[in-house]
Amino acid sequence: MLQELTETRYGKHDYIFREGDPTEYFHIVKEGTVKCVKSTPEGKECTLKMLMPGDLFCCDAAAFDGASHPGSAQPMGDVSILRMKKKSYFEMLRRNPDAAMEVIKYLGNRLNEAQEKTKDLALDRADQRLASLLVDLAARSGIPDPNGIRLTVRMTREDMANMIGITTETAIRIMSRFKRDRLVSGTANRLLIRDLKGLKALASAS
Amino acid sequence: MLQELTETRYGKHDYIFREGDPTEYFHIVKEGTVKCVKSTPEGKECTLKMLMPGDLFCCDAAAFDGASHPGSAQPMGDVSILRMKKKSYFEMLRRNPDAAMEVIKYLGNRLNEAQEKTKDLALDRADQRLASLLVDLAARSGIPDPNGIRLTVRMTREDMANMIGITTETAIRIMSRFKRDRLVSGTANRLLIRDLKGLKALASAS
DNA sequence: CAATAAACATGACATATATCATGTTTGTGG
DNA sequence: CCACAAACATGATATATGTCATGTTTATTG
């Protein structure tokens, strides 16, 4: 069974798959961070989700028929991915109700997250959404640091902008303000959350 | 087995459940349309999804632990809902791999939809999103009419606004323009899509 | 059918965010 | 370490959309 899971490594400039590619595998993030991206013909990008170790992807319907990927998957730095042919995955689920239940649970959580994000995009201002993003990433990829919480994932202002539906310039401006207000510090290589409470307050000041 | 599914009817002013209520049942829409809504403390609303006959809801993670509903479910007019205690639903899935696979497929599709919506909110203008909405509803709830496609679901400009993250006034203005441009006609009680192609062109003019 | 509320319409104005432009700082590969 | 590119910064201006206000039309209900 488990030998059907193979490990692959990717670097920062690779694609795990591209939007429109046929779906062949079910994936699990083993190490590193993967971003799920959709783009428009004119090159605008929208990052739907940052996948961390333990996250599943392509565990869904697109893997069930001959469909193609609705978005692309790109590593943020070096990552290691476990994958399984979709046929094996499919059979494994049929034989293993526990696994199927886990996938249902996982997809349900992903759907809730996605709907929460929809609500944020629809109702919150840009600075609130950016604060939310930072709070979320602090919880998911942060490590303690003498001055706060350091984010392990390398993320530029442009990356942030794509995650919350604003332009790079707006992300830079808001981050400059957060910096001035001592909420955060540092740049892509060393992002530091200095005042988590302050960010949380901003995030939920809807 | 099937006798565990019970039918309940609701009217336009009822709630099927409210945000925060404990999750007790798995649901299926039998007749009518149900909207899934999230709201802020200040009364702003965001409609996440219109559920039509055949759609499942609460088939997800919130139903798996002692969690509560992340949003509320309200009928758009008269609806009929089938439901099953979550314990029975859970057991049914464990015994029935086909059902579990169907749920995984359904959730995957819902997740894709949600992510498509995220992309629209992040990258498209209000008029494009409204055009998208109308095209989508024409496909899902439209019936042929001498002058185009009539939407069976009764939907005010405010409802539309909540579905695409704009204000009621903006929805009214855009609909007025669509009316002037002969793309649509009519009001909540009798919404008519007069030029589906035109709307599609606008929707994808990203 | 009258009374009342809901839905639609439209103007004037405010504002958050996008766009474009230009410059500085920081990182990186040869 | 130098050269080059990426990332960050910030101003000026444009614009889509929100907000508030007021009026009309269309439903609904007693």
Most B CBs within 10 A among A60, A87, A93, A167, hence the mutation to make, goes to: A60
| CATH code, B50 | 2.60.120.10
* One domain for residues B108 and B80: yes
Residues of B in contact with A111 (CB under 8 A): 60, 107, 110-111, 114
**Among all chains, which residue has been given the structure tokens 């049942």?**
B25
Q: Would you say the C-beta of A186 is within 7 Å of strand C?
A: no
Residues of chain B (137-196) having a beta carbon less than 7 angstroms from strand D? 165-167, 169-170, 187, 189-190
Q: Does A61 touch chain B (CB under 8 A)?
A: yes
Residues B166 and B115 in one domain: no
Taking alpha carbons only, the member of A135, A205, A198 closest to residue A163 is: A135
pLDDT at A174: 98
Q: Residue B139 class from Cβ within 10 Å (0-12 exposed, 13-18 middle, 19+ buried)?
A: exposed
In this structure, the answer to whether residues A90 and A154 fall within a common structural domain is: no
ipTM surpasses cut 0.90: yes
What is the Cα–Cα distance from A104 to A23, expressed in whole angstroms? 19
Of the pLDDT bands very low, low, confident and very high (cuts 50, 70, 90), residue A43 is confident
pLDDT digits (tens, 9 = 90+) for B22-40: 999 999 999 999 999 999 9
Q: Which domain holds residue A157?
A: 124-203
Residue of B nearest to A42 (CA): B206
- Whether residue B44 lies within 8 A of chain A, CB to CB, comes out as yes
Mean pLDDT value across chain A: 94
Mean per-residue pLDDT of chain B: 95
Beta-strand ranges (E) seen in B4-159 are 6-10, 25-39, 45-51, 56-57, 72-85, 142-145, 148-151
In terms of domains, do B110 and B145 share one?
no
pLDDT 10s per residue in chain B (206 long)? 566 899 999 999 999 999 999 999 999 999 999 999 999 988 899 999 999 999 999 998 676 787 899 999 999 999 999 999 999 999 999 999 999 999 999 999 999 999 999 999 999 999 999 999 999 999 999 999 999 999 999 999 999 999 999 999 999 999 999 999 999 999 999 999 999 999 999 999 76
Query: pLDDT tens digits, residue range A192-204?
Result: 999 999 999 999 9
Q: Which residue is nearest to nucleotide C15 (CA to C1')?
A: A125
Look at A66 and A11; give whichever has higher pLDDT. Answer: A11
Same domain as B138, residue B85: no
Q: Are B117 and B176 contained in the same domain?
A: no
Distance between CA B66 and CA B86 in Å, rounded? 11
Identify the CATH number of the domain in which residue B143 sits. 1.10.10.10
Task: Give B160's contacts (C-beta < 8 A, 6+ positions apart).
Answer: B130, B133, B171, B175
Same domain (yes/no): A6, A52: yes
pLDDT of residue A205: 79
Query: Among residues B121, B149, B164, which one ends one of the domains?
Result: B121
- Mark the nucleotides of strand C covered by protein, meaning any atom under 7 Å from a CB: 6-11, 16-21, 26-28
Q: Is pLDDT of A63 > 90? A: no
Q: How far is B188 from chain A (nearest CA, A)?
A: 22
Instruction: Indicate yes or no: CB of A108 within 8 angstroms of CB of B48.
Output: no
CA of B73 to C1' of C13 (A): 37
Q: How far apart are CA A3 and CA A6, in angstroms?
A: 7
Which of B101, B121, B141 terminates a domain? The answer is: B121
Q: What's the pLDDT tens digit per position in A147-175?
A: 999 999 999 999 999 999 999 999 999 99
In sequence order, which residues have a C-beta less than 8 Å from that of residue A126 and are 6 or more positions away? A164, A166, A170, A174
Distance A79 CA to C20 C1' (A): 37
> Mean pLDDT over residues A89-114, rounded?
95
Give me the B residues in range 132-161 that sit within 7 A (CB) of strand C.
156-158
Q: Is B70 on the interface with A (CB under 8 A)?
A: yes
In chain B, residues with a C-beta closer than 8 Å to the C-beta of A117 are 118
For position A45, what pLDDT does the model report? 95
Task: Say if residue A75 is in the same domain as residue A143.
Answer: no
Contact B153, B75 (CB under 8 A): no
Statement to judge: residues A93 and A177 lie in one domain = no
Residues B148 and B90 in one domain: no
Total domains, chain B: 2
Q: Give the nearest chain A residue to B104 (CA atoms).
A: A104
For residues A13 and A114, state if they share a domain.
yes
Q: Is the same domain home to B56 and B84?
A: yes
A187 CA from C26 C1′ (Å): 9
Residue A2 predicted with pLDDT over 70: no
Q: Are strands B142-145 and B184-185 parallel, antiparallel or unpaired?
A: unpaired
Query: How far apart are the C-alpha atoms of B159 and B37, rounded to whole Å?
Result: 11
Instruction: State which of A121, A156, A171 marks the end of a domain.
Output: A121
pLDDT at A98: 95
Query: Which pLDDT belongs to residue A66?
Result: 76
Judged against a pLDDT cut of 90, whether residue A21 lies above it is answered with: yes
Report how many Cβ contacts below 8 Å link chain A to chain B.
150
Return positions of chain D under 7 A from a protein CB: 6-11, 16-21, 26-28
